[in-house]
Amino acid sequence: MKKALIMLLVVALLAGVFGLAPVRAGEGVTIQMTIGSTKAYVNSKEVILDQPPIIENSRTLVPFRFIGEAIGAQVSWDASKKAVGYVFGDMNITLTIGSTTAIVNGVKNKLDVAPKILSGRTVVPVRFISETIGAKVDWNGKTRMVTITSSGKPVLSFKSKAEYTMQVNVGPAFGWGMGAQKWADLVKENTGGLINIKPYFGSALLAGKQTNWFQAVSEGSIDFVMDSTINASAVIKSLNLFSLPFFINTYENVDKIENGNSGKQIVSDMEKLGVITLAWGENGFRQLTNSKKPITKPSDMNGLKFRVVGTPIFVDIFHALGADAVSMNWGDAVTAFQQGAVDGQENPYGVLLPVKIWEYHKYLSNWSYVIDPLIVGVSKTTWDTFPNYIKKAIQDAAIEAAEWEKAYVRRGLDGFTSINILKNKFNDVPEVLDQMGYVRHQGVQIVDLTPEQRQAFIDATKSVYDKWIPIIGQNIYDLAKKDIGQ
């Protein structure tokens, strides 16, 4: 007892000499550091750093021992592995010089920038360390100061559920379905089997009612989702932006909207109702197919009956074009094609190939009238149960799976861009690289609209804009136009 007291005194004295007030786990702390400056502050007390913080790839790197001790972690250095270790409560963090993979309690997290040695001093990404232990990080761009606020409370141990559910409307043979499986597989791998997500294909948890996914994920009765924005657009009105006919015409513009201010607003609309978007996937630009005749102008659609998703804007679009529209779940749609209960439908190439559309429809018009992104997301109820390192592992996997999935469904439809991403980044060369050519080869007559023909469709669907922009929100529409430079 006495010995311990003396030890404590010695430590306190030494810390006083070195100017660092020791912070024990359990105590709150505020740490301030400025890029390029050796002066740092721990609870307002000045500390001199042996290496000033630097910025690399928009991330701040700071001396590893300083940050560890300042937050109250036990710090270690393994010279043979060139690895830095932190123990904070029940959390064990390992970073390795030159590696963008950090290990937290056996779970892999991706770093934007690797730890490195600068003039003999090891520096580590400060945001990662801080957020992993649950501290808040503020960056002041003007003063170039990073402020870390930690409650000092070690994170409580986390217990995972045996299975987390994932909603997916299509089957596992679709690019979208494969993307969902890839996400689940990556999460399992990166968490060392701790997080086990099971995709329920064909909207199995919703009895096939694809337009109910948002409600289920919002309530937390389904944990994860990789599903179409169309299937959520009856609830989240701003999602109808993607279904405004002939508005978003290129892959470049889809990406700009998703990553732009309009996309952020839509994500925030969903988050308010308890669905968090981790990445954007893609179903694709939707094309028109039918069993009766080539369609080059709106009047060709007169008297034809098309299956559409059960979300109101689609009925409006088809009625504006003079066609008959029937809302139907995807699970019933294929039977309807088979039996000829409908004459046509609309879906992207990524769906047309696996469903073998040529067995039902011999005519296709490349009209790309709407784009159908996928939400790669999670219920807020579920998300809030995860410590940061689990969240990070799940988000890293979502981004990777979505990048693969987008490239897979776009392959051959955007020149060589997506084919090259698949090959170079994922070492993946799918059997069919030319999706359109493949469908044509199956005997489908494919129509490409001339600019004049396309204009006739645009003109015929103007009324949809008048009705739907106020529903979507004029502000979102304006933001989207700005995002794509219109």
Binding-site ranges for ligand X2X (CB under 6 A): 169-170, 210, 228, 230-231, 283, 309, 330, 347, 351, 372
> Quick one: 34 or 211, whose CB is closer to ligand X2X?
211
Smallest distance from ligand X2X to CB 227, Å: 7
Instruction: Give 168's strand partners.
Output: none
**Pairwise CA distance, residues 124 & 140, whole Å:** 19
- Residue in the shown chain whose Cβ atom is closest to ligand X2X: 330
> Quick one: 133 or 295, whose CB is closer to ligand X2X?
295
Q: Which two tokens stand for residue 320?
A: 């504006």
Smallest distance from ligand X2X to CB 178, Å: 14
Smallest distance from ligand X2X to CB 32, Å: 49
Smallest distance from ligand X2X to CB 479, Å: 24
Q: Tokens 């730890």, residue?
A: 115
Smallest distance from ligand X2X to CB 309, Å: 5
> Quick one: 230 or 480, whose CB is closer to ligand X2X?
230
**Pairwise CA distance, residues 145 & 41, whole Å:** 11
> Quick one: 122 or 169, whose CB is closer to ligand X2X?
169
> Quick one: 343 or 372, whose CB is closer to ligand X2X?
372
> Quick one: 130 or 283, whose CB is closer to ligand X2X?
283
SS3 for the chain, per residue?
Answer: CHHHHHHHHHHHHHHHHHCCCCCCCCCCEEEEEECCCCEEEECCEEEECCCCCEEECCEEEEEHHHHHHHHCCEEEEECCCCEEEEEECCEEEEEECCCCEEEECCEEEECCCCCEEECCEEEEEHHHHHHHCCCEEEEECCCCEEEEEECCCCCCCCCCCCCEEEECCCCCCCHHHHHHHHHHHHHHHHCCCCCCEEEEHHHHHHCCCHHHHHHHHHHCCCCEEEEECHHHCCCCHHHHHHHCCCCCCCHHHHHHHHHCHHHHHHHHHHHHCCEEEEEEEEEEECEEEECCCCCCCHHHHCCCEEEECCCHHHHHHHHHCCCEEEECCHHHHHHHHHHCCCCEEEECHHHHCCCCHHHCCCEEEECCCCEEEEEEEEEHHHHCCCCHHHHHHHHHHHHHHHHHHHHHHHCCCECEHHHHHHHHHHCCCCCCCCHHHHHHHCCCEEEECCHHHHHHHHHHCHHHHHHHHHHHCHHHHHHHHHHCCC
> Quick one: 231 or 379, whose CB is closer to ligand X2X?
231
**Pairwise CA distance, residues 330 & 7, whole Å:** 70
> Quick one: 253 or 347, whose CB is closer to ligand X2X?
347
Q: Which two tokens stand for residue 80?
A: 């043979």
Smallest distance from ligand X2X to CB 471, Å: 19
> Quick one: 277 or 283, whose CB is closer to ligand X2X?
283
Smallest distance from ligand X2X to CB 202, Å: 10
Smallest distance from ligand X2X to CB 39, Å: 56
Smallest distance from ligand X2X to CB 76, Å: 50
Smallest distance from ligand X2X to CB 329, Å: 7
> Quick one: 128 or 251, whose CB is closer to ligand X2X?
251
Smallest distance from ligand X2X to CB 286, Å: 7
> Quick one: 23 or 254, whose CB is closer to ligand X2X?
254
